[in-house]
Amino acid sequence: MTGSLAGRAVLVTGATGPGIASGICSALAAAGARLVVNGLTADEVGATVARHPGAVGVVGDVSRPEDVARMVDEAAAQVGQLAGLVNNAGIGLRTPFFDADEEQFDRVLGVDLRGVWLVSRAFARQCDPALPGAIVNVSSVHARSTIAGYGIYAGAKAAVEGFTRGCAVDLGPRGVRCNAIAPGYVPVDPALGERAHASDWIDRHTREEQVLPRLIEPVDCGWAVRFLLSDESRCITGQVLTVDAGLTARLYNGETTARTHADRSGARS
């Protein structure tokens, strides 16, 4: 799909991170997109722009309406009409919902949901009805199945998927599509390894929990985003593409089932 986004200006929020953000930017740049990268600081944005020749940067917090309005205006001034938007900016929270305070709740929902709405609204208002456009939101497998301590984050991502469908319905008559990707566990930078205990967990998760025993890399998410922004997906909207190596496709892995049978056999004997 090299060149599938040639000449199209795409705004990527939260584009400065080393994880999924890097994979998205690399895949879109390889497809010929004109990148507009967003981050919270000028230094972070500048470093990302430097990695992608031809890219431009806009600094701002997606949860702040005044920042979002300025970001879109600055993007338009530098690259003209935006053809694509990737709502990648997001923050996590790992604490039981009953231990979280109002500030934590508001911050997660402010970035992960309010930010998606604010930037999507600004993008939609600048779209030219004569030109097709596309939005891709970054959700998570936590939107449908989660683990202890992630209730607030899971709620935010479930809301993102609901918003994705509503966005698709509202914008369809304007020729604008809206989809989402739901990544599984993606290490920030596999090349760096991780701390020893984290590396062991990643290895077990990849081999035992995923259906495909293959590490999910940031670019895997980038390729999915690229597809959903391109004309190859021109009749796809309101959908969530899960990039999880099969993590959410099964109930239990084989070893869990084998242990269960062994325990039952032992009990009968």
Residue in 22, 26, 120, 139 annotated catalytic: 139
Q: Is residue 2 part of a domain?
A: no
Q: Is residue 247 part of a domain?
A: yes
Whether 145 is catalytic is no
Strand arrangement of the beta sheet that strand 9-12 belongs to: 56-59, 34-39, 9-12, 82-87, 133-138, 176-183, 240-243
| Start-to-end CA span in the chain (Å) | 59
Burial of 27 (0-12, 13-18, 19+ CB in 10 A): buried
Q: Is residue 263 part of a domain?
A: yes
Q: Structural domain tally of the chain?
A: 1
Report d(CA 99, CA 101) in Å as an integer.
7
Q: Is residue 3 part of a domain?
A: no
Q: Give the chain's length.
A: 269
Boundaries of domain holding 134 = 9-268
Whether 26 is catalytic is no
3-state secondary structure of 138: strand
Q: Is residue 4 part of a domain?
A: no
Closest CA to 140 of 60, 59, 242, 55: 242
Whether 139 is catalytic is yes
Residue in 26, 150, 153, 233 annotated catalytic: 153
At 59, which amino acid appears? V
Residue 190: C-alpha distances to residues 140, 186, 187, 206 (Å): 19, 9, 6, 13
Q: Is residue 16 part of a domain?
A: yes
The CATH number linked to 56 is 3.40.50.720
Q: Is residue 208 part of a domain?
A: yes
List the chain pLDDT tens, one digit each, 269 residues: 567 899 999 999 999 999 999 999 999 999 999 999 999 999 999 999 999 999 999 999 999 999 999 999 999 999 999 999 999 999 999 999 999 999 999 999 999 999 999 999 999 999 988 888 999 999 999 999 999 999 999 999 999 999 999 999 999 999 999 999 999 999 875 544 455 557 888 999 999 999 999 999 999 999 999 999 999 999 999 999 999 999 999 988 777 666 656 666 666 65
Whether 153 is catalytic is yes
